[in-house]
Amino acid sequence: MRRSAHARKETEFLRLKRTRLGLEDFESLKVIGRGAFGEVRLVQKKDTGHVYAMKILRKADMLEKEQVGHIRAERDILVEADSLWVVKMFYSFQDKLNLYLIMEFLPGGDMMTLLMKKDTLTEEETQFYIAETVLAIDSIHQLGFIHRDIKPDNLLLDSKGHVKLSDFGLCTGLKKAHRTEFYRNLSHNLPNDFTFQNMNSKRKAETWKRNRRQLAFSTVGTPDYIAPEVFMQTGYNKLCDWWSLGVIMYEMLIGYPPFCSETPQETYKKVMNWKETLIFPPEVPISERAKDLILRFCCEWEHRIGAPGVEEIKTNPFFEGVDWEHIRERPAAISIEIKSIDDTSNFDEFPESDILKPAVSTSNHSETDYKNKDWVFINYTYKRFEGLTARGAIPSYMKAGK
């Protein structure tokens, strides 16, 4: 049984390797997302007609940020293709200009877009999304991975409205906001965010939502969801993902995340200083249970909920009534309406881009420059396939936590 499964994986690997798919095998239908290093498109595979999401990462952008080393260093994840809680990855390939990831298309859109549409979520809706995300995070922890970049933009919704974690970690290390050096030489007299601090919660939420998408596209990124210990040299463990979930839960109920500020530097300071800055605005009432759980997620990792195991989280009073065994089969808190397999109505509109046009290079790198640097990406394609087929055993070098 084990043997034949192994043999099957081998053949699958060989088959995938042999297919050598390329951009010409897909038709691009629409831009559905934008990130710091490229974009995500709805595409259709020409021979089968199947619809996928294609993530395109521009090599030049990643090189220009001088962070290429991180691509592999941060590539400590995989695609556990069998998990219901993680976006399925099908193929990857590259050409001179870009890296391409072909994954399942999740028509429900992402949690960031949902939160921008609604002022706040109800406690019941929040219970549902946080509970599903608890199971999703736990599933990757059980595989030995730490996500480290849990945020609403990385929580996607499938056609029935259930949560899946988007492919993770790929660019995390590329963003300045995730690197301690970025904050190290902070001048001490940075402009204070007086204006922000003095806003009432309604205006804060408006300001947050207005700037939010820009933040998602920027190569700096946002430190809003990152646990304080991740910034410190002393190390971190999988509990950092529970902190991020606490920040998201706060945002769902209050309308903006607890440490949001006018600049990433200011946010960073607030995260590090969470004992003073994590407060609940009195004008937005939430239940004691919700407040308690947020404070159990957002505290020192030594005392954080989940330290003894995920059961501690599941049995927290905030989750009373959750059917942990069947939550994914039951109706979602907010149902998704989809008219066809390629329905993109749950996504924002993005202008067409020329990322797929054979480039008139806009940067001053010459083509040979990229060629010479291609070695940087060589392992990339390979590791993807390996991840795809390594369903049981995960090579130790791919595991997080070093």
Residues at the site binding Mg ion, with contacts judged by CB under 5 A: 35, 153
Site for ligand ATP in 73-102 (CB under 6 A): 87
CA 128/CA 109 separation, integer angstroms:
17
Q: Tell me whether residue 216 or residue 260 sits nearer to Mg ion (CB atom).
A: 216
Q: Catalytic: which of 138, 149, 167, 241?
A: 149
The amino acid sitting at 324 is W
Identified binder of ligand ATP from the candidate list 31, 79, 97, 171, rule CB under 6 A: 171
Residue 321, SS3 per DSSP: coil
Which residues are bridge partners to 156 per DSSP? 110, 164
Least Å distance between CB 33 and Mg ion? 8
Q: Tell me whether residue 61 or residue 153 sits nearer to Mg ion (CB atom).
A: 153
Binding-site size, ligand ATP (CB under 6 A): 23
Q: Which does 150 bind (CB under 5 to 8 A by kind): ligand ATP, Mg ion, none?
A: none
Least Å distance between CB 332 and ligand ATP? 16
CB-CB contact of 366 with 351 (8 Å): no
Edge-to-edge order in the sheet of strand 98-103: 26-35, 38-45, 51-58, 98-103, 89-94
Two structure tokens written together for 52: 């996928």
Q: How many helices (H) and strands (E) does the chain have?
A: 16, 7
Site for ligand ATP in 97-156 (CB under 6 A): 103-106, 109-110, 153-154, 156
269 annotated to a ligand binding site: no
Q: Tell me whether residue 34 or residue 202 sits nearer to ligand ATP (CB atom).
A: 34
Q: How far is CA 154 from CA 35, 39, 76, 149, in A?
A: 11, 14, 17, 8
Which region among 3-11, 32-40, 124-132, 361-369 touches ligand ATP (by CB under 6 A)?
32-40
Least Å distance between CB 347 and Mg ion? 13
Q: Tell me whether residue 40 or residue 137 sits nearer to ligand ATP (CB atom).
A: 40
Least Å distance between CB 156 and ligand ATP? 6
Query: Is 149 designated active site?
Result: yes
Q: Which of 259, 203, 207, 253 is nearest to 231 (CA)?
A: 259
Q: How far is CA 268 from CA 17, 74, 201, 272, in A?
A: 43, 21, 20, 6
Cα dihedral 265/237/123/320 (nearest 10)? -160
Q: Tell me whether residue 105 or residue 274 sits nearer to ligand ATP (CB atom).
A: 105
CA 168/CA 171 separation, integer angstroms:
8
The binding site for ligand ATP (CB under 6 A) comprises 32-33, 35-37, 40, 53, 55, 87, 103-106, 109-110, 153-154, 156, 166-167, 170-171, 216
Hey, which residues are catalytic here? 149
Residues of the binding site for ATP = 55
